[in-house]
A and B are shown apart, each in its own frame.
Chain A
Amino acid sequence: MNRGLAARFGQRRQTDSDQLLPLINVVFLVLVFLMMSAILVTPAPFDIEPVQGAGSPTGQSAPARVAVSAQGELAWAGERLGEDALIRELKRHAEAGVLLNADAEADANTVMALARRLEAADLGPVRLLLSEPRPD
């Protein structure tokens, strides 16, 4: 009996799987960390050159990210939408505010008009996404 217990717990030769367990532990921890802390962003269907500048960091809320191209096209969740369709979709999903990811060359007045329309539709607060200035 004693010999059997020892074989089971103490002196058992480690198999290949047992040696991999610490690695799997760490990989699982990294995976959980990434899943908890990351924001998954669907890329816009057009190229966006982000506006550079300094702002304040957004809090923990996850606002809806609306992309605005240089030509003024709108996209949300990777889909091109018109302004009315965008407001309809955002209302249906009831997100916490809107983050506009506008192209640097997009017309400022158009973006401001869009922000005002979104706030008037109770989808606010509307904020503009900025990226850190690139060292040239």
Chain B
Amino acid sequence: MSIVEASADSRRRAGVSLTPLIDVVFILLVFFLLAANLQRDETRPLAPAGGQASGETEVRLAYRVTTKGFAPLAGDAGEAPIEASTIAAQWQALPPPEPDSEPVLILQAGEGVGVQTLMDAIARLEAAGVKRIRLIERRDP
């Protein structure tokens, strides 16, 4: 081996050491593995009534979600709670809507109702067949 070849060989081998690079890359990898959120988020729109297409929506039924079940929006708080299946039966019994109107069921969250209770109530209604649900907020006097 000539002197020129030997010096070229040693220069190549004595290049930048890879070990610190690997260290840093591994640390980055561990950071991303711990901090990353890879799951696809499930979400649900929180559009209050009138948020969009307010011109054509037609309110057909209106209920309040209470901690015990559903109550008519206009009724007293003391009435017996209504089941989701009863509301769904009412919804299905309504006459067909006008061609350019969107029938909706309005839900309002009663006093002391948490987000989980409201979402469970919506899920029960949707499972019973009511698909067009709009939320409205309660305005306390």
Query: Residues on A close to B: CB < 8 A?
Result: 3-4, 7-8, 15, 17, 20-21, 23-24, 27-28, 30-31, 34-35, 37-41, 51-58, 99-100, 102-109, 111-113, 115-116, 119, 124-132
Contact = CB atoms under 8 A, between A and B. Distances in A.
B109 A57 contact: no
Interface residues of B, number: 48
Question: 6 tightest A-B contacts by CB?
Answer: A38-B36, A108-B109, A104-B116, A55-B44, A127-B43, A108-B118
Given A108-B109, A112-B109, A128-B115, A40 B47 contact: no
B11 to A, nearest CB: 12
Nearest to A104: B116
Most chain A CB within 10 A, of B8, B13, B42, is at: B42
Contacts of B59: none
Contacts of B25: 24, 27-28, 31
Contacts of A30: 29
B92 interface: no
Interface in B23-72: 25-26, 28-29, 32-33, 35-38, 40-48, 51, 65
A28 B116 CA distance: 42
B1 A38 contact: no
Given A38-B36, A116-B51, A130 B113 contact: no
A100 B119 CA distance: 14
Given A24-B22, A57-B43, A119-B51, 11 more contacts: A17-B17, A24-B18, A31-B28, A34-B33, A38-B32, A38-B36, A52-B116, A104-B116, A109-B108, A125-B47, A130-B43
Main secondary structure of the interface of B (DSSP, over half): mixed
Contact of B113 (A53, A99, A108, A124): A108
Given A17-B17, A106-B114, A108-B109, A127 B37 contact: no
Contacts of B109: 107-109, 112
